[in-house]
């Protein structure tokens, strides 16, 4: 018997149009869950859903900007009316920024905060009452190694990801008695389409790739599917005694910190 099953679980994955979110949505569907694929890029969300359906899974796509609190509430209500109580929420949607404090404007921090922190806040607040009413719920937030240790030239990004780790711990502590678990995944660098595109902006993309890969003690970046496997573990009942935990998947980045 495969213990990492999500049969008939109603799951939502934000930022699931590509990269880590798409890998999580795909794996959850393979594990038997219905997956609500959420992305502000509607065509990307629909492409993920069509891929899941073509493989025999169950999915519907939704075009939502998680920075919009009203849109998040409307989405939660729509899914609850159509499919019932939401069992699992994966807050994966996020954006990045490069720069020290002196290279970062207040507007940059606000834009990062709107998605990386308020987006997690908005989606969690939208689904939490229904989870509490059902007596159970599982929330998985995508933070970063940059939410555990400082990363050079990533001030705004790290600020928001440290906030996600703190948010995770607070949700876990405040709502454990109501049947809610909340954990976060803290990846090192992951070889996503977004990262690959950014590498092409460097004068020497291959050199930049090697430098980014070398940050991890294992000497490589993670693949999105490796992060998805951790999400499946946290989503499954196998991890029933884990809550409030930053789950590091960083290839040894933080080992010497």
* Residues acting as catalytic residues: 157
When computed from its CA atoms, the radius of gyration of the chain, rounded to whole angstroms, is 17
């Amino acid at each position: 018997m495969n213990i990492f099953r999500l049969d008939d679980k109603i799951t939502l994955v934000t930022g699931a149009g590509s990269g880590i979110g798409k890998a999580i949505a795909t794996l959850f569907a393979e594990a038997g869950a219905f997956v609500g694929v959420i992305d502000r890029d509607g065509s990307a969300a629909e492409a993920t859903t069509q891929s899941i359906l073509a493989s025999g899974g169950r999915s519907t796509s939704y075009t939502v900007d998680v920075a919009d609190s009203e849109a998040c509430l409307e989405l939660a209500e729509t899914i609850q009316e159509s499919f019932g109580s939401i069992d699992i929420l994966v807050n994966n949607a996020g954006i990045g920024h490069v720069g020290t404090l002196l290279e970062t404007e207040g507007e940059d921090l606000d834009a990062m905060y709107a998605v990386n922190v308020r987006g997690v806040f908005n989606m969690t607040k939208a689904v939490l009452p229904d989870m509490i009413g059902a007596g159970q719920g599982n929330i998985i937030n995508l933070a970063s190694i940059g939410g555990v240790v400082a990363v050079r030239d990533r001030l705004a990004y790290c600020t928001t990801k440290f906030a996600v780790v703190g948010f995770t711990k607070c949700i876990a502590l405040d709502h454990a008695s109501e049947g809610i678990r909340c954990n976060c995944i803290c990846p090192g660098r992951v070889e996503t389409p977004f990262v690959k595109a950014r590498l092409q902006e460097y004068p020497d993309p291959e050199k930049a790739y090697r430098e980014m890969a070398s940050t991890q003690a294992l000497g490589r970046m993670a693949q999105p599917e490796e992060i998805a496997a951790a999400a499946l573990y946290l989503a499954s009942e196998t991890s029933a005694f884990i809550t409030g935990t930053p789950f590091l998947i960083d290839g040894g980045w933080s080992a010497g910190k």
